[in-house]
Structure 1
Amino acid sequence: MEPTEVLPIVAIVSIVTVEFGGHALLRFITTDSGRLGAFRERFFRAGHAHAGVLLVLSLVYLLYLPRAGFPDGLEWLCGGILLAGVLAQSGGFFLHLAVGEEGRRSSGTLLTRTGALLLGGALVALAAGLVRAAGS
C-alpha cells in the first residue's frame, strides 16, 4: 500500500481517540469538578485541542503529499515525521500534566517543543516538494 493510503487511516483512527479524550474531559469537568485542578485541566485541554487540530492538519497534508512528487520512501518519511510530531506535541501537554509543576519546565515541555520541530520539518519538506514540483 501507498503511504498516502495508510497514513490517513492512522490519522482518522487517531481522531476517534481524540473524541474519546473529549468525552473524558467533559466528564471530568461536569461530574468530577475540581478533580483535575486548574493546572491539570488547562494542560488536558491544550493536549486535547492540539491533537484534534493537528490531526485534521495531517489529513490535509496527506492530500497534498502526492503532489510533491516524492518517491514512496520519502512520502513515508515525511508522513511519519508529521504524525510523530502530532503525537509528540500533543502528548507533551499530557506528559506535563502528569509530571510537571506550575511555572516549571518538564520532560513534557521538551516533548511538546520536539513535536513542534518535527511538524515544522515535515511542513517545510512538503512546501519544498510542492515548489519543486510546480517548477517542473
Structure 2
Amino acid sequence: MTPETRTTAAILIITVGTIAFGGLSLLMQLVRRIPGYLDNPVRRALWTAGHAHAGVLVLFALVALLYLDQSDYGDAMLTLVRVLFVAAPILMPLGFFLSVVRPTDTKPNKLIYLVPLGGASLTAGTLLLGIGLL
C-alpha cells in the first residue's frame, strides 16, 4: 500500500469514532425524547439515513482502498480516485444532516443536493477503480 493510500485509510479509520459519537447522539435523542427529533419524522428519517450512509460508505471506501494500488493508474488518477472515495462519505451524510438542521424543519432545504453529489462521487470512484483493475 502506498503511503498516500495508507494516509487516506488512516483518516477514514479515525472518522469511525465520529460516526460512533453520532450514533450515540441519535440514541440519546431517542432515549431522552428530545423534541424536534422524535416528533419530526422527516428529520428523524434523514438523520438516520445520514448516520447509516456515513458508516457504510466509510467501510466501503476502506475496502476499495485495498484494491486501488493494484490498478494501473498513475499518481494523478490514484489521487482522484482517493478523493472520490473520501468525498462520498462526507457529502452524502452532510446532505442528510444539514438539509434539516432546525428541529422545526419539515422538508429538506437545498443542501439535500449534497446527497446525489456524494452518490455521483461514489459512482465515479467505483467505476474508475473497476476500470483500473481490469
The alignment's TM-score, normalised by the length of structure 2, stands at 0.88
Say whether residues 1:54 and 2:61 are aligned partners. no
Greater helix percent: which structure? 1
Partner of 1:3: 4
Measured in 2, the distance between the counterparts of 1:18 and 1:97 equals 18
Contact 1:2-1:72 at 8 Å conserved across structures: no
Structure 1 ranges of 4+ moved more than 2 A: 32-35, 99-102
Counterpart code for 2:24: H
Whichever residue aligns with residue 20 of structure 1, its letter is: F
- The equivalent residue for 1:13 is 14
Asked if the contact 1:28–1:35 (Cα under 8 Å) also holds between the matched residues in 2, the reply is no
**TM-align CA RMSD:** 1.8
Q: Which runs of 5+ in 2 are unaligned?
A: none
1:98 aligns with 2:101: yes
Q: Please report how far the alpha carbon of residue 89 of structure 1 lies from its aligned counterpart in structure 2 after TM superposition.
A: 1.1
Please, which runs of 5 or more residues in structure 1 have no aligned partner? Answer: 132-136
Equivalent residue, structure 2, for 1:41: 44
User: How far off its partner does 1:85 sit?
Assistant: 1.9
Rounded to whole Å, the distance in 1 between the matches of 2:68 and 2:28 is 38
Calculate the TM-score normalised by the size of structure 1.
0.86
Q: Provide Cα deviations, 1:24-44, integer angstroms capped at 9, x if missing partner.
A: 000000013444122211111
